A = this chain, B = another copy of it.
Amino acid sequence: MRELKRGMRVVDEEEGRRMLKIGEVSRRSGVGVEALRFYEKSGLLERPSRTYAGYRVYGREVLDRLAFIKQAQALGFSLEEIRRIIEDARKGQSPCEEVREIVRRRMEELDERLRELQRHRRELKATLEEWDKVGRAPGHVCGLIEGSDIGHAHHDRAEGLKRGKRGG
Measured CB to CB, the nearest residue on chain B to A125 is B107
Instruction: Assess the B111–A143 pair: CB atoms within 8 A.
Output: no
In this complex, how many residues of chain A approach chain B with their Cβ under 8 Å: the count is 63
Interface, chain A (partner B; CB < 8 A): 30, 64-65, 67-68, 70-76, 85-86, 88-90, 92-93, 95-96, 99-100, 103-104, 106-107, 110-111, 113-114, 117-118, 120-121, 123-125, 127-128, 131-132, 135-136, 141-146, 150-153, 155, 157-159, 161-162, 165, 167-168
Chain A interface main SS type: helix
Provide the residues of chain B in CB contact with A68, threshold 8 Å: 145, 150-151, 153
Provide the residues of chain B in CB contact with A135, threshold 8 Å: 95-96, 100
User: Given that A72-B150, A74-B162 are contacting pairs, would A85 and B168 also be in contact in the complex, using a CB cutoff of 8 Å?
Assistant: no
User: Given that A75-B123, A127-B75 are contacting pairs, would A64 and B95 also be in contact in the complex, using a CB cutoff of 8 Å?
Assistant: no
Provide the residues of chain B in CB contact with A64, threshold 8 Å: 146, 151-152
The minimal Cβ–Cβ distance linking A3 to chain B, given in whole angstroms, is 37
**Contact among B75, B117, B152 with A114 in the assembled complex (CB-CB below 8 Å):** B117
**Contact among B90, B99, B106, B150 with A75 in the assembled complex (CB-CB below 8 Å):** B150
Instruction: Assess the B67–A158 pair: CB atoms within 8 A.
Output: yes
Other than the given A30-B155, A89-B145, A99-B142, 10 more pairs (CB < 8 A) read A64-B152, A65-B145, A74-B157, A75-B124, A75-B161, A96-B135, A99-B144, A100-B128, A104-B128, A117-B117
Provide the residues of chain B in CB contact with A107, threshold 8 Å: 121, 124-125, 128
Instruction: Assess the A117–B113 pair: CB atoms within 8 A.
Output: yes
The minimal Cβ–Cβ distance linking A21 to chain B, given in whole angstroms, is 21
